[in-house]
Every structure is written in structure tokens, then in C-alpha cells.
Amino acid sequence: MDYENYMELYEAVYFFNRINCCVDDKLPQQLSEQEIKNLGINESTYTAIMRILVVNNMLDYDGCSFVVTNENKEKHQHILDNVINKNQDIHYPEMFNKAVNEGQFFFDNISDSEYEIYSRCDFPMTFKTGKEVVKHVNLANRKVLELGGNSGGLGTALLTENKDCLYTVVDTKIPCIVGNEFNRLHEMNITFIENDIFDLMLSSEIYDYIIIMNLLHDFDDVKCLDILRNCTKHCGSNTKFLIIEDVLTGEFEPKEVVMHGLRLSVECRGGKQRTKEELESLFSRINYGIEKTINLSNVHTMLVMGSL
């Protein structure tokens, strides 16, 4: 079997081997709170493991339960014997230990220099996504707020096609510093504001659009609602949200979407990928609903949310 480019799959198999709680070679689709506690991992980690294994044909699903066949067991053992057991470092157990650490959150555990590298690498990736977004939304003469916009790659792509757009990015210190550097380089006029997305301290500005990309999947539902409720202070009756995420569609997902699910749930403790229905449920709490769903790529979907 050729799994050479699937680090997340190796991790999922390792995790599965550590937490395997099969009864008659079956596992429930959802675990009770006590079962999750007994495993030592949170529900989003369990869900991510199972999705990765199913989409890679390493685990079967019968519509109610996850089923471990003899063929599945052979595939798992192949990986454990020929990949993990020959690995000379301690990556896998360290990753698992992070999953049982309640205080783990990726951006709280990287150095300033690592964060700067991350922000510089983020720019071309989000710029590419932005080139797809501009095909579907007209932001000319609009006021736009992007939360967690990092170094402004998405905003730069949007402003390239919408010169009269007033664009503001809220993020932490280092992304704002890097973003202002790119701002000068590309002769853009993005306003970067260093701020806490959980305690927004902005002027009483009302925005036409609020963009949230690759941010909600970092947090559990409670924290996501805190973010959204903060946003409502800057919403008028016609304000729309553009949510750009790796939105899940069902039980069997494209590999491009699900493969980072385990790492996401571990590195951003409580973070998780969501279905369109789960996102709509979150937004219903602030009286917003889905107006349009746009597939931007194999990875990203954009949901246009409007006031109910």
C-alpha cells in the first residue's frame, strides 16, 4: 500500500490504535460524554479520526456504526508495523499527548518567529482563495470587516478587483505587522487593527460585509458564538457574513477536506470542521441564515449569511 503522503492518516491510525473501544468490531458514530471522558480525548478528535479513516477506506460505515473488518485491521497493522514503529522520533505519542491536554491551542504555543513565518506563508494561500471569492461577490464601495484575516492575502485579492472597498482586518500583533509590510509592497489600503476577536474594541462602525475565513473551525461552539455575538455590534439590517471554511457535506468527504481534521482538533483544542447544517445552527443563534452556498475549490466553501 502506498500511503507516503498521508501524515494525517498515519496519525489517525495511531490514535485509533490507542483508543480502540470496539465491541464486536463496531464503534458508535457518536459517543456519550462518559465514553469520551474514558478515552481521554474530546468529541471533535474522535469524529476527526473516524472521518479520516472512513474516507481512506481504513474503516467501514454501515449507516449507524463504524465497522472494523479484517481487511481494515490488516491495513492498520501494515501502517503500524512499517511506518510508525520504524519512526525514530516521538512525533506520534507527542501528538496524542496534546490531544489529552485541555490547555492546548496552536497559536498560544508557537514563538514570535514561527508566527511570523506562518503569517508570511498564509498570504499567498489566502490570496489565491480571494481570487475565487471575487468571482462571486461585488465589494465595490462597501465597508468590509475581516476577522482573523492574518497578513491580508484575502483582502489584497478582493481589493485588487474592488478599488473603492474600505477593508479592515482584525488580528493579533504579528499578523498585523506582517500585513502592513505586504500592504506597502502591494500598494493596498487595508486597515490592520490589533484586537481580540473575543472582546472586539472597535469604533461603532457598521459594516456591509463581515468575512470570517478559516477561523470558526479553530473553536468549539461556545467560543464561536462569542465571536459571532461580538460581530452583531457591527451589523446593520443589511449586513452579510461571508463564511469561508472547509465545510463538511456528509459522512463520506473528499480527502482534501478531511485530512487535516485530526490535527485541527488536537492543535486547536475543541476545534472542529462543521457541516453546513451545523454552521447554519450556529448563525441562527444571532438570527442569521444561509442565503447562498458557493464551492470555491475542493477545500473551501463560501456561505453567504443574511439576516433572518
Here the CATH number for the domain that contains residue 162 is 3.40.50.150
Q: Is residue 163 part of a domain?
A: yes
- 16 close to 84: Cβ distance less than 8 angstroms: no
Given a cut of 90, whether residue 111 has pLDDT beyond it is yes
Same domain, 88 and 140: no
Phi, psi of 64 (to 5 degrees): -130, -40
Given a cut of 90, whether residue 116 has pLDDT beyond it is yes
- The number of folded domains in the chain is 2
Q: Is residue 168 part of a domain?
A: yes
pLDDT of residue 101: 80
Same domain, 26 and 132: no
Cα distance between residue 299 and residue 146, in whole Å: 20
From residue 10, give the alpha-carbon distance in Å to each of 2, 14, 95, 295.
12, 6, 11, 29
Q: Is residue 44 part of a domain?
A: yes
Q: Give me the mean pLDDT over the 110-131 stretch.
A: 97
3-state helix, strand and coil shares in percent for the chain, rounded to the nearest 5: 45, 20, 35
- DSSP conformational letter for 109: S
- 160 close to 187: Cβ distance less than 8 angstroms: no
Same domain, 147 and 295: yes
Among left, alpha and beta (phi > 0; psi -120 to 50; other), residue 97 is: alpha
Same domain, 119 and 188: yes
Domain span holding position 34: 7-101
- pLDDT band of residue 251 (cuts 50, 70, 90) is low
Strand 235-245, strand 166-171: pairing: unpaired
Q: Among 75-79, 127-131, 232-236, 246-250, whose mean pLDDT is lowest? A: 246-250
Given a cut of 80, whether residue 88 has pLDDT beyond it is no
Same domain, 167 and 243: yes
Same domain, 136 and 82: no
CB count within 10 Å of CB 30 equals: 10
Please give the residue that has the higher pLDDT: either 84 or 25: 25
- 273 close to 261: Cβ distance less than 8 angstroms: yes
Q: Give me the mean pLDDT over the 217-245 stretch.
A: 96
Boundary-marking domain end, from 101, 134, 152:
101
pLDDT of residue 84: 76
Same domain, 166 and 301: yes
Boundary-marking domain end, from 67, 82, 101:
101
SS3 125: helix
Cα distance between residue 290 and residue 274, in whole Å: 14
Boundary-marking domain end, from 78, 101, 124:
101
pLDDT of residue 5: 55
Identify the CATH number of the domain in which residue 18 sits: 1.10.10
Cα distance between residue 124 and residue 102, in whole Å: 32
In sequence order, which residues have a C-beta less than 8 Å from that of residue 76 and are 6 or more positions away?
13, 16, 17, 58
- 151 close to 173: Cβ distance less than 8 angstroms: no
Q: Among 11-15, 27-31, 248-252, 284-288, whose mean pLDDT is lowest? A: 248-252
pTM for this model (two decimals): 0.91
Q: Is residue 1 part of a domain?
A: no
Same domain, 97 and 165: no
Nearest Cα residue to 210 out of 143, 111, 163, 135 = 143
